[in-house]
Amino acid sequence: MQGNLTALLITSFIVLSVVLIGFIAGRDKKNRSSVEEWSVGGRSFGPLLVWLLVGADLYTAYTFLGLTSTAFAAGSIAFFAIPYTIIAFFVSYFYLPKLWEVSNRHKLTTLADYAKGRFDSRFLSLLIAIVGVFMLIPYIDLQLAGIQDTLTVAGTGYINIKFVVIISFLLVALYTFFSGIKGPAYTAVIKDILVWVIMLFLVVTIPIIHFGSWGSMIDKLVVEAPELLTIPTTGPKGIPWFLTASLVSGLALFMWAHAVTGVFTAKSADVLRKNAIYLPFYNVVLILVVFLGLAAYLVLPEGSDPRFALLNLIQMSYGGVVQGLAYSTIALASLIPCSIMAIGASNLFANNIYRDFINPNVKPEKLTMITRSMVFVVIGLALIFGMLFPTALVSLQLLGVSGMVQIFPAVVFSLFWRNQTKEATIIGLLVGLFTTFAVYATGNSFGIYEGFWGLSANIIALIILNPLFVKKIKNKSNPIIDQLFTKQ
C-alpha cells in the first residue's frame, strides 16, 4: 500500500525536532562528567520527571503495536498487560525505595553493582550483567521493528525504509552518547504528552468513524467474533498462561537494565513510592489500545498482517495530518525507550564486565567515555541482529522476560533476607536460567509461561541450598548489609 507524503513529512519533522531537543538537553558538560551523571542524571529527578521517564521507558512502541496485534489475532489474551503492570507497580512500592537508598549511599548505577556489593561476589555481578545485556538486545530490536513498521506504512514509495531506520537509530545513539539520561528524560515529556493525547483521540474517534459508536462496535464484536472477548480456558495460552505470564512479567519489569536506570534517577526514595502509586494511570491508555486491536479485526480486510494492525487501521481512518501525528507518536515510542535501553546495557557492560574483569584499574574519566561509547556498539548490534533475524524478535523478547525474572530473588529477596548466601543465590539463578531455556527449547510448558517454571526452580533451589552455606556468612558483614539490616 502506498504511503502518505503528508504523514511522512509530519512524522519526520516531529521526530527530528525531538532528537534536536535531546541534543540540547545534554549541552551542559556536567551531564558527561561521570558515569553517575551520564547514566542516572546525578539522581536529581523529581516525581513528575521520573513518572514521565519511567512511563516512556516501559510503555514503548512495542507496547502499542504488540498489544493491538495480539488483540487483533487472539483477542482478550492481550489484556494480560494490565494485571502484570499493576503487579509490578504494587510490588515495587515495597522494594524500590530500599534499593534506591542503598544505591544512593554507595553510588551504584546497576543491579549488578548492587549484587557485587551485597554478596561480595564479582561472579554473581557478572552473571547479572551478562543476562541483562543479552536479554536487552532483542528488546532494543523490537524498538527497531516499531520504527521500521511505522516508516513502512508512512513512507512506502517515498523513501528507502532500511536506510532511514539506520539513520534514525544512529541519531539516537549520537544524542544518547552526547546527552546521557537527560536527553531521553526531557524528550520523554513530549512523547508522553503525544501518547496521552493521540491515543485517547484514536480510541474515541475510531469506533465512531467505523461503527457510529463504541456500543455499536462492541455489539458487532459480540455477534461476529465473540471468541475475541473471552480468555480461553484451555490451550497453550489459556487462563493458566494468562495468570503466570502476568505474575512473571510483573516481577521482571524492574529487573530490566533500562527500568532500573529510570528508577535510579530519582532524587529520593519517596519519589519512587509516589511513582508506584501513579504509574498505573498509564493502564487507562493500555486498556483502550487493546480495543483498537479488536476494532482493527472488524475493519481491516481478511488476511491482514497482525503486525501492522494499528498502523493500517490509522491509515484507513484518517487523512495525512492525523496519520503523521499518530505515526510520530509511535516512532518516538520506539526511539526514546531505545535510548534508555542503550544506556542501561552500556552501563552494565562498562561497569560490571569491563571495569570488574578486564581493567579493574581503569580511571573514572576513561570509564565514563567507554560507558558512553558502548551506546554505539549496543545499538549497532541491535540493528544488525534485527535485520538478520526479524521474525525472531517477539519470541526472543518474551524469552527475555523469562530470563530477566531469574535475577529477582538475587536482588529483591536479598533486600529483606540477611542470611541469603551468594552460593545458593548463584546456583538458584543458574538453575532458573537452565530450566527456562530447557522448557522453551522443548516447547513443553504445559500451558504455563516458561519463566514461571524457571523462577519456581530458582526459588526452590535457593531455599533448599541456602542452609548448606549459611554458616559461612554467620556474623559476616559489609557496608550494604549493615545499611539494610542494622537499625538506624
pLDDT tens digit string along 305-322?
A: 888 888 888 888 888 888
Give me the percent of the chain exceeding a pLDDT of 90: 15
Task: Evaluate if residue 403 carries a pLDDT over 80.
Answer: yes
**CA pair distance 244, 405, nearest whole angstrom:** 12
Which long-range contacts (C-beta less than 8 Å, at least 24 apart) are formed by 90-96?
Answer: 90/276, 91/250, 91/251, 91/412, 92/253, 92/254, 92/272, 92/276, 93/272, 93/273, 93/276, 93/277, 95/412, 95/415, 95/416, 96/254, 96/263, 96/269, 96/272, 96/276
| Domain 5-391 bears CATH identifier 2.30.42.10 | no
Taking a C-beta distance cutoff of 8 angstroms, is the pair 436, 470 a contact?
Answer: no
Whether 377 contacts 403, CB under 8 Å:
no
Would you tell me how many other CB atoms lie within 10 Å of the CB of residue 87?
Answer: 17
pLDDT of residue 389: 62
What angle, 0 to 180 degrees and rounded to 10, lies between the N-to-C axes of helices 5-25 and 122-155? Answer: 150
pLDDT classification of 469: cutoffs 50, 70, 90 = confident
Confidence of residue 391 (pLDDT cuts 50, 70, 90): low
Kindly list the domain boundaries of the chain, sorted by start residue.
Answer: 5-391
2-27 pLDDT, tens digit per residue, is 667 888 888 888 888 888 888 887 77
Give residue 414's pLDDT band: very low, low, confident or very high (50, 70, 90): very high
Q: Would you say 132 and 145 are in contact if contact means Cβ atoms under 8 Å apart?
A: no
